[in-house]
Amino acid sequence: MDGLAVVLQQPQQIALRRLELDPMGPGDLQVEVDWSGISTGTEKLLWSGRMPPFPGMGYPLVPGYEAVGRVTAAGEGAAHRIGERVFVPGARCFGEVRGLFGGSASALVVPEERALHIPESMAERGVLLALAATAWHAIDDAPRLPELIIGHGVLGRLLARLTVIAGGEPVVWERNPMRAGGGSGYMVMPPELDTRRDYACIVDASGDPGMLDVLIARLAPRGDIVLAGFYDEPLSFAFPPAFMREARLRVAAQWQPQDLLHVRNLAATGRLSLDDLITHQCDAQSADEAYPVAFADPSCLKMILDWRKMS
């Protein structure tokens, strides 16, 4: 078996290559991919060559951890899954070509447990489940609901929506006027218009390593800052203000399987809206044009690749 895959040959050099897939084992599934998402966090760092040392790093590699497709074949132990619509958070099935995270391809071979069943009606919006799980993990791991969220990209919006579902009333900071709209149940404003300095819990989804001093100055005593972005530079902060507030820093690591199940269920029942987050789509054959747009165009919240014409 083989499939077409996006391959980062080296930083800023993308090719669409046909790669042989690893053979299926008895508990594996073959998934024909319909859509995959482009991450403006980790994938941007891989594309730019600024990704910090990370397990599995190296070029060439197949990026992507947001794939939606259908199970078309299975090992004998997983045959009951054939025909399902599934979300796949990446794969490692390309032989010597690294899969970090391995989801941007027309076909994947994955262990059965890596393929999450989703409703047909979710369709391409299913690519957002990894970010939704990331957002929920950051909230669920925090000692209290976020009162301030930094950034109104897709992750920031999902953080805000999940906070509202949980009963919170967050404020979201966003400097880019092109991203200031779209809030429902929460307020979006530039930081210079916000006078509060007593936030008990701040979640940073910006990935900006220079934000810590600004955020510490807005904390209530013994307040928490949760780092939900991915940072390509060392983080630092001035100690005296943090000392005076007894500031507490937490890092939200990668989501866990229970986080993915939780947000899938919220989205499947309509409690969590995944609408209005995918702003751009591109045929997979034009992936080399899609990646720069996804990373540089401020109007692009989420770019997805459409694999349905590829074989």
Counted domains in the chain = 2
Distance CA 277, CA 6 (A): 23
Q: CB–CB of 249/227 below 8 Å? A: yes
In a domain, 98, yes or no: yes
Distance CA 142, CA 250 (A): 8
| Domain with 193 in it | 131-251
Q: Do residues 8 and 99 both lie within one domain?
A: yes
Query: Is the same domain home to 135 and 46?
Result: no
Whole-angstrom distance, CA of residue 276 vs CA of residue 89: 21
Same domain, 105 and 135: no
Contact (CB, 8 A) for 279 and 300: yes
- Report how far residue 229's alpha carbon sits from residue 156's, in angstroms, rounded to the nearest whole number: 10
What DSSP character marks residue 143? S
- 234 and 162 housed in the same domain: yes
Looking at the structure, do residues 137 and 64 belong to the same domain, yes or no? no
Global confidence as pTM: 0.95
Task: Give CA–CA dist 233/231, Å, rounded.
Answer: 6
| 94 and 19 together in one domain | yes
What is the rounded CA–CA span in Å between residue 96 and residue 212?
Answer: 40
Tens digits of pLDDT across the chain (311 residues): 899 999 999 998 999 999 999 999 999 999 999 999 999 888 888 888 888 777 667 889 999 999 999 999 999 999 999 999 999 999 999 988 876 688 999 999 999 999 999 999 999 999 999 999 999 999 997 889 999 999 999 999 999 999 999 999 999 999 999 999 999 999 999 999 999 999 999 999 998 999 999 999 999 999 999 999 888 889 999 999 999 999 999 999 889 999 999 999 999 999 999 999 999 999 999 999 999 999 999 899 999 999 998 86
Indicate which CATH number applies to the domain containing 48.
3.90.180.10
